[in-house]
Structure 1
Amino acid sequence: MADSLPVETPEQPLGPSKSELKKRAKALEKEKKAAEKAAKQQEIAQQQAAAEVDFAVDFYGTLPLNQSQSRPRRERAQISSLSSRDGETVLVRARVQASRAQGNKLAFLNLRQRTHSVQAVLQVTPEKVSKQMVKWAAALADESIVLVEGVVQKSPIPIQGASVSDVEIHVQKLHLISGIDGRLPFSLDDASRPDTEIETSEVQYNRVLLDTRLNNRVVDLRTQTNQAVFKLQAAIGDLFRDYLSAHGFTEIHSPKLQGAATESGASVFKVSYFKGTAFLAQSPQLAKQMAIAADFERVYEIGPVFRAEDSNTHRHLTEFIGLDLEMTIEEHYHEVMDMLDGMLMNIFNGLKEKYKHEIEVVGKQFPADEFKWREGPEGTLKLTHREAIQMLIDDGVPLGPTDDMNTENEKRLGRLVKAKYDTDYFIIDKFPMELRPFYTMPDPTDPTLSNSYDFFMRGEEILSGAQRIHEPRLLAEKMRSKGVDPESMKGYIDAFRMGCAPHGGGGIGLERVLMLFLKLNNIRRASLFPRDPKRLEP
């Protein structure tokens, strides 16, 4: 029997090696981490996408052009009243004087209305103020006009840089009404800074020159200082009008186009008038006197006055606002002088009592000693022209007794009067006849003198007045002596031929009163859009 061959059995497959198992484990771990990372990235992306959905989109942005589409009659708050409205929700229209972000969740706006400002705060809160809203607010251009809705809250500390410093507005809604097209010529912070601060500070500030201000007057007028200045200008007009109305005066409106010059020797603007020539009125002088001849008894006017004098000084304009009055005299021309004196002191007292805030606002940029005047039994200081000249002569000024005072000597006299009598306001009476216009009444005892007077503030003349000549023959005589042909003003003289009561008056430069009361140092700062020999724009 043959031997049987051994049967070969197949070799059993070996399991994965340890290294292979490790590789597989690592691969699985890597896949797991990649899946987790992808899930995390997807979650982040979803969160970012959710964050890009601005929940406050309806609470801020640019409003459509206001074409009076609707009139919801929502009450608008004034910034000046906010101190008394703690806890209230208010709606305020204002300019953005400044804006700044603090991080990406907080922004501050300085909001301004005329002479008042307040801080507004935007802070990210759920469902009210978003990050996008804060970012948009912080990017608003200075001088943009916005509509703000928010809650007034007391501030724990006074807020620097805001006139209303005890509260702030926590903004809930903020919309742009009008933005800025272009670039501001200067910042309002620079335009509001006192010269003394610029000169003494270690910080190099930008100085905004007067010409730059006047060339961009609309922006310049927005400063809190200028807002206060022109509120005070309006107040002077109101106080002038109220006082005279209470004393039986009637307001008149005289023509500014005239066929002849009002005063001899003064420069006048000639204008083409159809086929002839007319003149712009240097004052309402003729009309005032003719109104007295028409039995108006007491009249006043507030209106433009034109002087074609090539005077480029700190106190001259070619067009200014005149405060003029004329009244009948019962016995003595000092009745008129006393009326003018009472009216001016009423203005000074009215400004001091009713407009303290505005005076303080101006004083921050133009620091000045408080304007002083005498009241009580002693009354306003009154000097004769001779006494005033003698004070200057005694101080070393070479003047004759009938000499006129130039601007330098007027200021010098003002300093002497202030040192001796402690007043910024005084009257000089009895000017030499040769220094006054043709219609001025001569003194009854000394024909070289006149029944005329000037009023002064801080050593500068602000008012000129006199008793007028109401007798036609004497008036014609004085006209000829001053080189004026009576026939050229026949209508004026004829008014007195019909009989006219004795009368007198005066004319005041509104801008000068304002400039000197506040000590602004240049009359152009007291004129809204000043006109001088070199300026007709804007």
Structure 2
Amino acid sequence: MADIEAPQVNPNEEGGDVSKGPSKSELKKRAKEAEKAKKAAEKAAKQAELEAQKAAAEVDFSTEYYGKLPLNQSQSRPRRSRIDITTLTPDMDGTQVLLRARVQTSRMQGSKMVFFNLRQRTDSVQALLTVAPGKVSKQMAKWAGSLQMESIVLVEGIAKKTPEPIKSATVSDVEIHITQIHLVSGIESVLPFSVEDAARPETEIETGEDVQYKRVLLDTRLNNRVVDLRTQTNQAVFKLQHAISHLFREHLDAQGFTEIHSPKLQGAATESGASVFKVSYFKGNAFLAQSPQLAKQMAIAADFERVYEIGPVFRAEDSNTHRHMTEFIGLDLEMSIEEHYHEVMELLDALFLHMFRSLKQKYAKEIETVRKQFPADEFKWREGPEGTLKMSFKEAVDLLVEDGVSRESLDDINTENEKRLGRIVREKYDTDYFIIDKFPMELRPFYTMPDPDDPTLSNSYDFFMRGEEILSGAQRIHDPTLLAEKMRAKGVDPASMAPYLDAFKMGCPPHGGGGIGLERVLMLFLKLNNIRRASLFPRDPKRLEP
């Protein structure tokens, strides 16, 4: 049987069963989907990379370079050398330094930079902390920028010479690039005022609608004295107070004086019962010493020849003035006389001139710091052959009368006329420092020696600065009979001061001295206008704290 041949199929004929390929639109669609998937995969990979980077960034690599230090209980002593801001110089460019200071101001610039003004006493320096990979983290910058003003910090960094002066810091040609910063002591309460506001010159504080800065009143300052004393002005003021007492000691030590320390509790009033503080003393009463006057004189009777003392003086006077306090520091001296009480007056004059010259020469920086807040004419005194201006009480009265003051009102020169006399002397003699000699006997204490030619006058003198008294002194009575007579004339019972009187019965050389108010000298030299600014923690009729 013959094979039957299968029929041929024409692929072009309708009804053929051969499969067709994907269309162009299908291919295009598939390409788009593939591209979309690829982009999604790339985006996911990039996101994963960013997440990994973010996670890595959140790991703080600077933790050991900042933060609060543990409470210092003297548990370690690494003996790391620290510097004072005042010693920073451009020559130290690139030097690693370590210092402890207060944060006077801080300012964040963006999230990667913090500027500080760091302060030590009268000196300040700019410091800069900048975020840097592997060195300073963002977390470190954020923490440092949150530090409160007046916090105490320990800073380590590199000293860098500045391209231009930094006006906001006393060290203007160097700044610190911080590598480490740790908190030593933070602020646990709200500051009563900023140290910057407390240090502003009065000329920067306008009144009326143009108020630029807050005025910090004196009472507010004194009520919060610890913060107030941090100002660079006050740091300089009390450096100068220290200088005055140091110069007082220095000069008198060179003149053969011995420093003594007398008791401040006494059994009787030194000068008059009206101005002493009475305190209970076991079953009786005692008095706070108005001065070391009696002890100084008794030391002379004991052959000490020349003595001085620096110590507290108490005055129970209800005087609420710019120059009175109930407790102040007295700079007192007493010395034996060879021939004339002017020996004492001349030694005191030389002492003041030594103080004035040394303050001007050695403490110019501190004086300039104070003047920035309290502008004042430079204190003037006379040098050379003419020397210090000296006049008698009568001559001083004549000057005031010539200036229009009634002579009848000048039995004593009161505070107002003292200032007036100071202005007259400044205009006429170009000096702020002068001496008045030969005061009326009725104005002086019972122990003052009368003038041998005119018993209404005394061998006594006062020293003045800017028209205000800063020293009162005299020759003292060393004869016990005359001393007892003058005691009774002043209403003092000699029996109430028997040990004092007995000292002169044992023989005592002629002697004289004087007492200086430390705070008053400081106030008038700097022209601070209120003695409370010259006292660390002032005491007056209305203030016993802080």
TM-score where L is the length of structure 1: 0.96
Report the equivalent of 1:89.
Answer: 96
Deviation at 1:376, TM superposition (A): 1.3
Residue identity opposite 1:400 in structure 2: E
Deviations for 1:238-293, whole angstroms, at most 9, x for unmatched residues? Answer: 00001001101000000000011010264111111111111000000000001011
Residue identity opposite 1:158 in structure 2: P
1:157 and 1:166 in contact (8 A); partners too: yes
Give % identity: 77
Report SS of the residue matched to 1:301: strand
Which of 13, 36, 46 is matched with 2:42 structurally? Answer: 36
CA distance in 2, matches of 1:171, 1:258: 58
Which of 241, 244, 249 is matched with 1:236 structurally? Answer: 244
Is 2:382 the counterpart of 1:381?
Answer: no
Deviation at 1:25, TM superposition (A): 3.7
Which of 70, 74, 78 is matched with 1:68 structurally? Answer: 74
Which of 227, 241, 245 is matched with 2:235 structurally? Answer: 227
Deviation at 1:499, TM superposition (A): 0.6
Report the equivalent of 1:367.
Answer: 375
CA distance in 2, matches of 1:93, 1:209: 30
Residue identity opposite 1:138 in structure 2: G
Which of 416, 420, 433 is matched with 1:412 structurally? Answer: 420
Which of 272, 280, 283 is matched with 2:288 structurally? Answer: 280
Deviation at 1:11, TM superposition (A): 5.4
CA distance in 1, matches of 2:94, 2:236: 29
CA distance in 1, matches of 2:477, 2:274: 19
Report the equivalent of 2:166.
Answer: 159
CA distance in 2, matches of 1:306, 1:358: 29
Deviations for 1:183-205, whole angstroms, at most 9, x for unmatched residues? Answer: 11111110000111213895621
Deviations for 1:437-484, whole angstroms, at most 9, x for unmatched residues? Answer: 000000000000000000000000000000001111111111111111
Report the equivalent of 2:3.
Answer: none
CA distance in 1, matches of 2:492, 2:19: 140
2:204 and 2:212 in contact (8 A); partners too: no
Report SS of the residue matched to 2:385: coil
CA distance in 2, matches of 1:12, 1:527: 115
Report the equivalent of 1:433.
Answer: 441
Report SS of the residue matched to 2:206: helix
Report the equivalent of 1:474.
Answer: 482
Residue identity opposite 1:43 in structure 2: E
Report SS of the residue matched to 1:108: strand
**What is the aligned residue count?**
533
Report the equivalent of 1:395.
Answer: 403
Deviation at 1:133, TM superposition (A): 1.9
Range 83-92 or range 177-186, more displaced: 83-92
Report the equivalent of 1:51.
Answer: 57
Max Rg structure: 2
Is 2:512 the counterpart of 1:504?
Answer: yes
Residue identity opposite 2:113 in structure 1: L
CA distance in 1, matches of 2:272, 2:68: 60
Gaps of 5+ in 1: 1-5
Report SS of the residue matched to 1:332: coil
Report SS of the residue matched to 1:470: coil
Report the equivalent of 2:328.
Answer: 320
Note the 1:129-144 alignment, pairs <5 A: 129-144=136-151
Distance 1:77 1:529, change over 3 A: same
Range 254-263 or range 100-109, more displaced: 100-109
Report the equivalent of 2:212.
Answer: 204
Which of 251, 254, 257 is matched with 1:249 structurally? Answer: 257
Report the equivalent of 1:3.
Answer: none
Deviation at 1:17, TM superposition (A): 5.0
Report SS of the residue matched to 2:408: coil
Which of 111, 114, 120 is matched with 1:107 structurally? Answer: 114
Which of 121, 127, 132 is matched with 2:128 structurally? Answer: 121
Note the 1:161-200 alignment, pairs <5 A: 161-199=168-206
CA distance in 2, matches of 1:199, 1:326: 49
Range 24-33 or range 12-21, more displaced: 12-21
Deviation at 1:379, TM superposition (A): 0.8
Which of 140, 146, 152 is matched with 1:145 structurally? Answer: 152
CA distance in 1, matches of 2:540, 2:198: 22
Deviations for 1:80-100, whole angstroms, at most 9, x for unmatched residues? Answer: 000153332111111111111
Gaps of 5+ in 2: 1-6
CA distance in 1, matches of 2:493, 2:419: 36
CA distance in 2, matches of 1:198, 1:157: 28
2:161 and 2:173 in contact (8 A); partners too: yes
1:389 and 1:401 in contact (8 A); partners too: no
CA distance in 1, matches of 2:459, 2:204: 47
Range 423-432 or range 114-123, more displaced: 114-123
Report the equivalent of 1:528.
Answer: 536
TM-score where L is the length of structure 2: 0.95
CA distance in 1, matches of 2:144, 2:341: 65
Report the equivalent of 2:4.
Answer: none
Range 119-128 or range 233-242, more displaced: 119-128
CA distance in 2, matches of 1:271, 1:116: 44
1:371 and 1:424 in contact (8 A); partners too: yes
Deviation at 1:54, TM superposition (A): 2.0
Report SS of the residue matched to 1:400: helix
CA distance in 1, matches of 2:255, 2:218: 40
